[in-house]
Amino acid sequence: DGGITQSPKYLFRKEGQNVTLSCEQNLNHDAMYWYRQDPGQGLRLIYYSQIVNDFQKGDIAEGYSVSREKKESFPLTVTSAQKNPTAFYLCASSTKTASYNEQFFGPGTRLTVL
């Protein structure tokens, strides 16, 4: 998982609360991504960012928000509007120069709603 850190590893949320998941990378990558992983469904893209102060919605952005104020950081907020937030969340990064570059993943945050 080298170069990308996610915190916390485990997170518990009460219904109605917003929570923020941290993602930091020291790979000098321009692009960063957030994915949600549910059993049997693979990875689904929540948000991605190609450059600082810019980001785009992925396939399942409803109930989530992000910011990209620094190149190294791409935090994800899971809001109370997300109806089923219990999942494993993965952050990734890649260089922007060509679309054949692979993504590097963090170790993940497991979010559980109590």
Partner 1 sequence: AQSVAQPEDQVNVAEGNPLTVKCTYSVSGNPYLFWYVQYPNRGLQFLLKYITGDNLVKGSYGFEAEFNKSQTSFHLKKPSALVSDSALYFCAVRDRASSASKIIFGSGTRLSIRP
Q: How far is the CB of 16 from partner 1 (least distance, A)?
A: 27
Binding site for partner 1 (CB under 8 A): 1, 4, 6, 31, 33, 35, 40-43, 45, 48, 50, 58, 88, 90, 92, 94, 96, 99-100, 102-108, 110
Cβ nearer to partner 1, comparing 15 with 102: 102
Q: How far is the CB of 6 from partner 1 (least distance, A)?
A: 8
Per-residue buried b or exposed e for 50-86, using 16+ beta carbons within 10 Å of the residue's own CB: eeeeebeebeebeebbbebeeebebbbebeeebeebe
Q: How far is the CB of 70 from partner 1 (least distance, A)?
A: 19
Strand extents, DSSP E, the chain: 4-7, 10-13, 19-25, 31-37, 43-51, 54-57, 64-66, 76-78, 87-94, 104-105, 109-113
Cβ nearer to partner 1, comparing 3 with 79: 3
The residues, ordered by sequence, that sit 6+ positions from 2 with a Cβ below 8 Å of its Cβ are: 104
Q: How far is the CB of 80 from partner 1 (least distance, A)?
A: 26
Cβ nearer to partner 1, comparing 73 with 103: 103
